[in-house]
Structure 1
Amino acid sequence: MSVSTPQIQATRTESRSTARLLLTGPVWLVGVLAALAGAVVTEAFALATRAAGVPMEAAGPGATEAAEIPVGGFFGGVVFWSVAGIVLAVALARWAERPARTFTVTTVALTALSLAGPAVAPHTATSTQIVLAASHVVAAAVIVPLLARRLSHGQR
């Protein structure tokens, strides 16, 4: 016989409720939650690399010098680009025959394509380019599985 406290039982109930939401909640809501989780994890990754001494200065195409990436910049970037992923997930949930597979293949391809940006960033230290590319992978590693799992459970 197992004995558990009310606090442990409440935690288990909350955990089941969260899991149920992530499996059966509206695709857009799961997408928003996944985007926020991905943004937090990616910003934490960026803060850790910043603390380790990686310069957080990058330049975009056509820039003559690198500019500092502000604290919160990774969070904002992930949230901004996640909107496109959420729209894609909602559309696939509605119209695709195999939405989870289509979403996963598409987003993995887009993530791979996004690695070109940091690779060619002018006036940017190689260490920063590596962190920028890794941050794309970190964000995708959090967001894509959560949305794909939701899409695999039907109920568009």
Structure 2
Amino acid sequence: MMLREGGGVEAGKNTRLLQLELRESEHLADKLSQTVSDLTTVLHVKEAELQYWQSRVTQYRQEALTLAKRSNTLKATLSEFEFTIECQAKELGALHAEQKGLKEELVQAYKEKEELLQRWMDEKREEADRLNKHNDTQERWQRLAKHLKKRTHRKKGRVCSHIDLPSE
């Protein structure tokens, strides 16, 4: 009987050990289940974060593309402006040269005008002098003629005091 009793005690110990191992296994299984659950939650959180960051990367990529396009457009516009400025600078240089030539022509035209005006004034002065001399001569002739006429009238009046001369 001892064998039985010893076997029973041993079986009871084994059962207890098995129950303890079972509980420990269940406890480990619960812990493992909780760990898996926690890891699943962390995985979902990480997947959500990954999606968020992927969307941010996509957003930033789109912004980068938009900025690159805008940059290219601005570069093209800048290039056009630089070309326009270069053309306008050349045109301005040509206009300055033309303006300089026109100023020189204007100075020359003023000189010619002054010379022409001086010549005209000299000619008019000479003409006025000639006219004044002519007028002086005419006045002298008229005075002489008047004087001679008076003398002639006096002499005729003495000679022919009774003859009336027609008035002029």
Q: Verify same fold: TM over 0.5.
A: no
Higher relative contact order (CA 8 A, sep 6+): 1
Q: TM-score range by the shorter chain?
A: under 0.3
Larger radius of gyration, structure 1 or 2?
Answer: 2
- When you count helix as a share of all residues, which structure comes out higher? 2
- TM-score, normalising length from structure 1? 0.20
- TM-score, normalising length from structure 2? 0.19
